[in-house]
Amino acid sequence: MKVDGKHFRSIWRERDGWSVGAIDQRQLPHEFVVARLVSCEDAVVAIRDMLVRGAPLIGATAAYGMALAMREDASDAGLKRAYDTLVVARPTAINLKWALDEMRAALAPIDPVERAEAAYARADEIVEQDVEINRGIAGNGLKLIETIAAKKKPGETVNVLTHCNAGWLATVDWGTATAPIYLAHERGIKIHVWVDETRPRNQGASLTAWELGHHGVPHTVIPDNTGGHLMQHGMVDLAIVGTDRVAANGDVCNKIGTYLKALAAHDNGVPFYVALPSPTIDFAVDDGIRDIPIEQRSGTEVTDMTGRTADGRLETVRIVPEGSPVANYAFDVTPARLVTGLITERGVLKPDRASLAEAFPERVAARSVP
């Protein structure tokens, strides 16, 4: 999307034709830094250390990581090594494995001398497919926003709450949860976004607020615990969040705290939507709460905070007593019963197995391939 009028994507193949550019999201909102990935290991570190993050972007980065790996060693052993090191970079977003499976399917059958070129071509396709899918999510989600806007008095605003960052920074472009928001904004609908700061890494405060602000979308950053109060007082018309993995039964895995937002929405009759591209559906998982692996990250993400001092320096401070144990679960799973609908590129679906399978039969069939 736009950063002060200039169009950006979150990741791209550089003009040299082989290295990969990516916005270093660890530096936002304070500094806009572009990283250059030149090896498969760079891609592994970028995913693991969250230089790039967000399920679809993790997949895109892994796809280019595989292409970088094929430049290094296109043998069968090199292909296996690249797959095995990339696939464990982070455990929860299924898009990582989806993208690597797509790359392996394209590369394994062909002559190693052809693999590097074929890998970049397939990675480019995955990147462009993400953008097209998100445009589809935008159009399908827009209808929900338009329906709410039509019931408003002239000049009234549609208030959307979102959690974490499922914006263009979490994908290649447009985002998932934010895609309908950007499209509504561009169509002239008065829209405002309540942005959960999203402790402990503050993807909402640091990333969602940054991208909405630079695209000109009205928004307000709120502490994570505020959403329920706003819903009780009629200040939220709908919630739209992203997801890292949707189980076949419609359970939704997303950033920690999403489940609590869904409970508050259910209690207050606020529609709770989840936006996702079809690669985020994992038909191999029948029960999300039981089966989706929840990443636990370093406790320093909880004990420490980084910010800009009054004189412009970036500093990290500790906010938890030395010696206090810390738990840092990065995701939780919202049961399908709390989800109003799944906004996909093929429409807004009920969060259940039959609806997912009917909309994406090719992905159910893929599950049966070992």
Ligand X SMILES: CSC[C@H]1O[C@H](OP(=O)(O)O)[C@H](O)[C@@H]1O
d(CA 163, CA 193): 10
Q: Looking at residue 153, what DSSP letter applies? A: P
| Residue 204 binds to ligand X (criterion: CB under 6 A) | no
Q: What does each C-alpha distance from 57 to 22, 75, 92, 144, 328 come to in angstroms?
A: 10, 26, 13, 25, 22
Residues 190/158, Cβ–Cβ less than 8 Å: yes
- Among 197, 244, 282, 345, interactor with ligand X by CB under 6 A: 244
Query: 232 labelled as ligand-binding?
Result: no
Q: For residue 146, what are its two tokens?
A: 């338009």
Question: 130, 244, 251, 282: which is the annotated catalytic residue?
Answer: 244
**Smallest distance from ligand X to CB 254, Å:** 5
Stretch that binds ligand X, among 236-244, 282-290, 306-314, 319-327 (CB under 6 A): 236-244
Closest CB to ligand X among residues 66, 242: 242
195: β partners? 162, 221
191: β partners? 158
Which H or E element spans position 253? strand 252-255
| Residue 255 binds to ligand X (criterion: CB under 6 A) | yes
| Residue 164 binds to ligand X (criterion: CB under 6 A) | yes
Closest CB to ligand X among residues 152, 263: 263
Q: Looking at residue 8, what DSSP letter applies? A: -
Closest CB to ligand X among residues 118, 136: 136
- Of 24-63, which residues contact ligand X (CB under 6 A)? 53-56
- Among 29, 59, 242, 257, interactor with ligand X by CB under 6 A: 242
Query: 268 labelled as ligand-binding?
Result: no
- Among 249, 254, 278, 344, interactor with ligand X by CB under 6 A: 254
| Residue 122 binds to ligand X (criterion: CB under 6 A) | no
- Of 285-344, which residues contact ligand X (CB under 6 A)? 330
Query: 254 labelled as ligand-binding?
Result: yes
| Residue 10 binds to ligand X (criterion: CB under 6 A) | no
Measure the CA angle with vertex 300, ends 229 and 276; round to 5°: 55
Q: For residue 357, what are its two tokens?
A: 């399978």
Query: 255 labelled as ligand-binding?
Result: yes
**Smallest distance from ligand X to CB 145, Å:** 18
Closest CB to ligand X among residues 176, 344: 176
**Residue 190, SS3?**
coil
Q: What does each C-alpha distance from 40 to 13, 69, 110, 179, 272 come to in angstroms?
A: 14, 5, 20, 30, 38
Closest CB to ligand X among residues 185, 255: 255
Closest CB to ligand X among residues 102, 167: 167
Q: For residue 84, what are its two tokens?
A: 């095995």
A 10 A CB-CB count for 4 gives: 10
Number of shown-chain residues binding ligand X (CB under 6 A): 16
Outline where 187-320 has alpha helix (H). Answer: 203, 209-215, 227-232, 258-268, 288-291, 300-303
Q: DSSP letter string over 142-194?
A: HHHHHHHHHTSPTT--EEEEE-S--SGGGSSSS-SSSHHHHHHHHTT--EEEE
**Smallest distance from ligand X to CB 242, Å:** 3
Query: 204 labelled as ligand-binding?
Result: no
Q: What does each C-alpha distance from 209 to 203, 272, 318 come to in angstroms?
A: 9, 20, 24
Q: Is 244 a catalytic residue?
A: yes
Q: Which amino acid is at 121?
A: A
Query: 167 labelled as ligand-binding?
Result: no
**Smallest distance from ligand X to CB 156, Å:** 28
Catalytic positions are 244
User: Binding residues for ligand X, per CB under 6 A?
Assistant: 53-56, 164, 166, 170-171, 176, 203, 241-242, 244, 254-255, 330
User: Binding site residues for substrate, as ranges?
Assistant: 53-55, 90, 203, 254-255
